[in-house]
Amino acid sequence: MSATDQPPVQSHPRPVAEAPRPTDFGELRGGHLGVRIAATPEEIDAVQALRYRVFYDEMGAKPDPETARVHRDIDAYDAVADHLLVVDHMIGSGPEAVVGTYRLIRQNAAARIGRFYSADEYDLSTILAFPGTVLELGRSCVGQAHRGRATMQLLWRGIAAYVNLHRIDLMFGCASLPGIDPDENAAQLTYLHAHHLAPAEIRPRALQSRFVEMQRIDPALLDGRRTLARLPPLVKGYLRLGGFVGDGAVIDTQFNTTDVAVVVKTELVTQKYLRHYERQLQGPLD
């Protein structure tokens, strides 16, 4: 989630990003939770406030003075992205009820900035050469009181609906392991490299200036089940969908994380989630 070398963001007062054009998959419900695309500036502001609470207050990211003053996680990509959000209808139905989010950046949106966000950490030439439509996923977070299977599955149902609507063929982004010492994540990084490395034709590679070797120990020494259990839930979620990782990790000192690139072919997502809500759009989660 590195913010280095990003296009400049206007100084305060920062305008709230214009709301993206609402998509027509509406709101999908799972009990008292709902998932949809943010449709108002106030909802995007709530997303940015949630990201600040999770990334900075909770996970120890280092804000610049302006970010600390406004208590919002904002960058230039927010203005061109679609913001998937989960609302808890027991709290309300508007910005006050936003409890989870994912940032979705399509190719035409990235073109308005000049590149994808992940290009700060990874060489995306293989992704850009992919013969299909690609989508960058990022800035995923869920409020502490709502972390669990129901919220994450609902986010994935929303992603599946979005992927189907916009005919996305390949998704990619960065996922994070906690901390900035790669040796503390040696087993997890080695496991990902040994068992889930992306095929060469869709494999991002960490920029040479930021490249951190992932195979840090002998893979034969790993306890695969134990190592898998220690991976962050988001990374395990990508793997369950048949996702892959790129070559090389990246240390993000601002966000206090070790990042890995992830790539997912979208038919795996739609097979798992799209059929479910096509049968019962307003039904409870399994």
Q: Is residue 66 part of a domain?
A: yes
Q: Is residue 22 part of a domain?
A: no
Work out the number of other CB atoms within 10 angstroms of the CB of residue 271: 13
Report the C-alpha gap between 58 and 40 in whole angstroms: 26
Report the C-alpha gap between 76 and 15 in whole angstroms: 11
The tokens for 164 are 């189907």
Write out the H or E segment, with its range, that includes residue 42. helix 41-51
pLDDT band at 24 (very low <50, low <70, confident <90, very high): low
Contacts of 165 (CB under 8 A, 6+ apart): 23, 24, 25
Q: What is the DSSP letter of 249?
A: B
pLDDT band at 240 (very low <50, low <70, confident <90, very high): confident
The tokens for 181 are 């010492």
Q: Is residue 36 part of a domain?
A: yes
Lowest mean pLDDT among 95-104, 105-114, 235-244: 235-244
Q: Is residue 15 part of a domain?
A: no
Three-class HEC string of 65-125: HHHHHHCCCCCHHHHCCEEEEEEECCCCCCHHHEEEEEEEEEHHHHHHHCCCHHHHCEECH
176-221: pLDDT as tens digits? 999 999 999 999 999 999 999 999 999 999 999 999 999 999 999 9
Q: What is the pLDDT of residue 273?
A: 67
**Residue 22: pLDDT above 50?**
no
Q: What is the pLDDT of residue 281?
A: 40
Domain limits for position 137: 28-279
**Residue 19: pLDDT above 50?**
no
Q: Of the ranges 44-58, 140-154, 227-241, which is most confident? A: 44-58
* pLDDT more than 70, % of the chain: 86
Q: What is the pLDDT of residue 280?
A: 41
Mean pLDDT to the nearest integer, 253-274: 86
Lowest mean pLDDT among 17-26, 111-120, 155-164: 17-26
C-alpha closest to that of 162 among 100, 275, 84 = 84
Q: Is residue 20 part of a domain?
A: no
The amino acid that residue 105 corresponds to is I
**Residue 23: pLDDT above 90?**
no
Residue predicted with more confidence, 57 or 24: 57
Mean pLDDT to the nearest integer, 220-238: 92
pTM of the model: 0.85
Q: Is residue 6 part of a domain?
A: no
20 within 8 A of 41, measured Cβ to Cβ? no
Task: Give CA separation, 174 vs 11, 40, 83, 152, in Å.
Answer: 27, 26, 17, 17
Mean pLDDT to the nearest integer, 247-263: 96
> Can you say whether the dihedral through the CA atoms of 263, 267, 270, 273 is positive or negative?
negative
**Residue 227: pLDDT above 60?**
yes
Task: Give CA separation, 21 vs 74, 82, 83, in Å.
Answer: 19, 8, 10
The tokens for 220 are 């034969």
**Looking at the chain, which runs of residues are DSSP E strands?**
28-30, 33-37, 82-88, 98-106, 122-123, 134-142, 170-178, 205-206, 244-245, 250-252, 257-265
Q: What's the CATH number where 273 sits?
A: 3.40.630.30
The amino acid that residue 232 corresponds to is P
* pLDDT more than 90, % of the chain: 78
Q: What is the pLDDT of residue 169?
A: 95
**Residue 15: pLDDT above 70?**
no
- Please tell me the total count of domains within the chain: 1
| Cα R_g (the chain), whole angstroms | 18
**Residue 76: pLDDT above 80?**
yes
Q: Is residue 284 part of a domain?
A: no
Residue predicted with more confidence, 20 or 84: 84
Chain-wide mean pLDDT for the chain? Answer: 88
Q: Is residue 13 part of a domain?
A: no
